[in-house]
Amino acid sequence: MFNNKVIFISGGTGSFGHEFLKKLLKSYKPKKIIIFSRDEYKQFLMQKTFPISKHPSLRFFLGDIRDLERLKIAMNGVDYVVHAAALKHVPAAEYNPMEFVKTNIYGAENIIQASIHQKVKKVIALSTDKAANPINLYGATKLASDKIFIAANNIVGVKGTAFSVVRYGNVLGSRGSVVPYFDNLIKSGTKFLPITNIKMTRFWITLDHSVDFVIKSFKRMAGGETFVPKIPSVKITDLAKAMAPKLKTKIVGIRPGEKIHELMCPNEMADQTIDFKDHYVIFPSPQNFDKRNNFFINKLKEKGKKVSENFEYSSNKNKNFLSINEIKNLNIKNFF
């Protein structure tokens, strides 16, 4: 679907942007790929990895998603948008709330307005488990962003830009995640690995899987869906044992705004959640959305079914937990 098309990636110099770009260049023949971000040094480094001399379809645009006019210029002629730009550090959000509001909420609205203005075909916004029943400022801004993107479908009507959301948990090996954090401690000769809570669990997805899921979601979407992949969970204590079996662990306490378990499909939205073979879809409230879409059959003709009324998709209640050996194999294959 991306052949001879123009793809725009906000926050494109991040972990997801690198992997998504690799997949686009390997599997498709896009007319143009626009990497949009505000850090010129990260763009410089990315151009070293993906030199324009070898990839003439690449364009690097400096800009901030807080700047609507810059987005309108950058999105000229764009067919598909992946919105990956966000401020994400949970403790930083608690201390600098308005900066997160300006980027994660106002920036989301700017992406929507620019996409509509330039008649983009489809937009997918990347979300996080922290947006489901949020307890921290970061999660609250991402929930607001998700709601804004889904509601944008009401603005454009049947023939306008389609907006959907993809929500998933921790990405193995991504910058800022626990795996590189533990790895750096181990390499520095630490005497213990810090565990915030002994009961802590997390959803787990590889970077490659997250990119494949986003691409599949573009093919599946009609507009208005929140796509959630079915992925395994890990116990953080098992992760520590897998990475450093001889090291002791130390309970250091939960950081501000941190959850013990992750949640991606709240029970309160069970009546709007559909179970597909490898993912869930949360569809918009019927009272606030055009009934033109049958969300139980997607654009790939895959059929889903309603979940039970007591359904909840959380990392501690997940049926699929990775063993210590499985974590070792996953780490070796995808990170180290």
Return the beta strands (E) in the chain as ranges: 6-10, 32-37, 58-62, 80-83, 122-128, 162-168, 170-172, 192-195, 201-206, 226-229, 233-235, 248-251, 263-265, 273-275, 279-282, 305-306, 313-314
Contact 255/203 with Cβ under 8 angstroms? Answer: no
- For the question of residue 130 being annotated catalytic, the response is yes
Q: Which of 122, 130, 142, 216 is catalytic?
A: 130
Specify the DSSP class assigned to residue 176.
Answer: T
Crossing angle of helices 40-49 and 15-27, rounded to 10°: 30
Contact 75/118 with Cβ under 8 angstroms? Answer: yes
Q: Which two tokens stand for residue 206?
A: 């590889």
Other beta carbons less than 10 A from residue 34's beta carbon = 22
d(CA 330, CA 333) in angstroms, rounded, equals 5
d(CA 41, CA 194) in angstroms, rounded, equals 32
Residues acting as catalytic residues? 130
